[in-house]
Amino acid sequence: MKQARVLLADDHVLFREGLAGIIGNQPDMQVVGEASDGLDAVVNAEEVKPDLILMDVQRPGMDGIEAARQVKQVLPETIIVMLTVRSDDELLFEALKNGAQGYLLKEIRSQELLEMLRGALRGEAAISPTLAGRVLSEFRRLSKGGIVDQEDDNGLTEREQQVLVQASNGATDKEIAAALNISLNTVKTHIRNILAKLHVSTRREAAKVARQKGLL
């Protein structure tokens, strides 16, 4: 029996060791590497070329969503399943948009986790039951002509514009998260996307370009 090669990426050592024990005991899976942060996950993935990466969303340094995006650029066939304690809709859809095939909450039981991972390896979506309904609702809304977080002519979504306005006024990431009722990780993702779309490297430059484009 061919064993699926699994890379574990989580900054909590005890939790990572627990996952390694659960997955490593399966006859159809083997743990081929572990990573403690996003950059480490990208580097390890390029080295061991896993079939599946179980990736924590919230990581020190590079977050799991950015790590997933970078991994998919070099290893498009690798399956990425995100694992998190947060049921944040924006994180969920951002993760799926950046190549994740699954999004599981850490409250999941070990047997259910294994079933979800096996499903992902078969090409199925691995979404926690409590989140699956939200994904289905979005697809239904889109199929009826609804548009989620529509981009304007300058390529920024409505949420990204809201974040940019806050950042231009000198708000910190934590202050932006509180003001818009989103997670700190989501704010960082939006900031990164804003800088990339406006082709700048700092928030000050982003604000300047945004004013020139009439966004602020």
**Average confidence (pLDDT) over 173-178:** 90
Q: Which domains does the chain have, with CATH numbers?
A: 4-141 (3.40.50.2300), 158-212 (1.10.10.10)
Q: How far apart are the first and last CA of the chain?
A: 59
Please provide residue 181's backbone torsions phi and psi, each rounded to the nearest 5 degrees: 60, 45
Q: What is the pLDDT of residue 60?
A: 66
Mean pLDDT (the chain) is 83
Residue 84 neighbours by CB under 8 Å, 6+ apart:
56, 57, 58, 64, 91, 103, 104, 105, 106
Q: How many residues appear in the chain?
A: 216
Q: Which pLDDT band, with edges at 50, 70 and 90, does 153 fall under?
A: very low
Give yes or no for residue 173 having a pLDDT over 60: yes
Is residue 76 classed exposed, middle or buried when 0-12, 13-18 and 19+ CB atoms within 10 A define those classes? exposed
Q: What is the pLDDT of residue 154?
A: 53
pTM for the predicted model, two decimal places: 0.64
Spatial contact of 95 and 123, defined as CB atoms under 8 Å apart: no
Residue type, 129: P
pLDDT (tens digit, 9 = 90+) per residue, 64-116?
A: 888 998 999 999 999 999 988 876 667 788 888 888 888 898 888 999 999 99
Helix (H) or strand (E) holding 56: strand 52-56
Spatial contact of 112 and 42, defined as CB atoms under 8 Å apart: no
Give yes or no for residue 148 having a pLDDT over 50: no
Q: How many CB atoms lie within 10 A of CB 104?
A: 21
